[in-house]
Amino acid sequence: MVVLALAASACASTGASPRPFPLPPDRGSRSSPETAARGSPSIDSYALVGAALSLRGVPYRNGGSDPNGFDCSGFTQYVFAQFGVSLPREVREQFRVGTAVDSNDLAPGDLVFFATTDPGVSHVAIVVGGDQFVHAPSSSGVVRVERLSSSYWSPKFIGARRVG
């Protein structure tokens, strides 16, 4: 049972430094976390979700922050960087960026946070829409979509943030 619990748990980022992220020329410059928290630049949330979904199947890699492999916070950091928003590397730091969002008001592109390995926030994902989110879990080994209302994720939900 302990092995199952460890296999089902998600990342608590190691703090590895990510590789530089390429930015499309028409997306503008990256913002700092402070700028992102003020709501600028504006993000096309559907394009952001599309970019996140295009990474489904990329393997989980502890400390990973590029399409060769992601951990949870490396995944969110990479996806947001494609839209000019610089997120911190650590899950707990990402939980401080942007503005808090009520669970009843979640929108595509919002970050959702969970307590999976320790008390407090230890996992992050991106809302797809409806009841779904996309993330880099360690349990399946690949970026995938899951339901917020699942019996595993629902009780572990801690909060959500809107960035950009």
Residues labelled as active-site residues = 72, 123, 135
Strand spans (E) along the chain: 65-66, 69-70, 99-101, 111-114, 123-129, 132-135, 144-147, 157-162
Of the CATH numbers 3.40.50.2300, 3.90.1720.10, 3.40.50.12140, 3.20.20.190, which one belongs to the domain with range 33-162? 3.90.1720.10
Winning range, highest mean pLDDT, from 31-40, 50-59, 136-145: 50-59
Q: Which residue(s) pair with 114 in the sheet?
A: 123, 157
pTM for the model stands at 0.78
The residue among 24 and 119 whose pLDDT is bigger is: 119
In this model, does residue 128 exceed pLDDT 80? yes
pLDDT band at 95 (very low <50, low <70, confident <90, very high): very high
Please give the pLDDT value at position 140. Answer: 73
Instruction: Domain ranges for the chain, please list them.
Output: 33-162
Please give the pLDDT value at position 27. Answer: 37
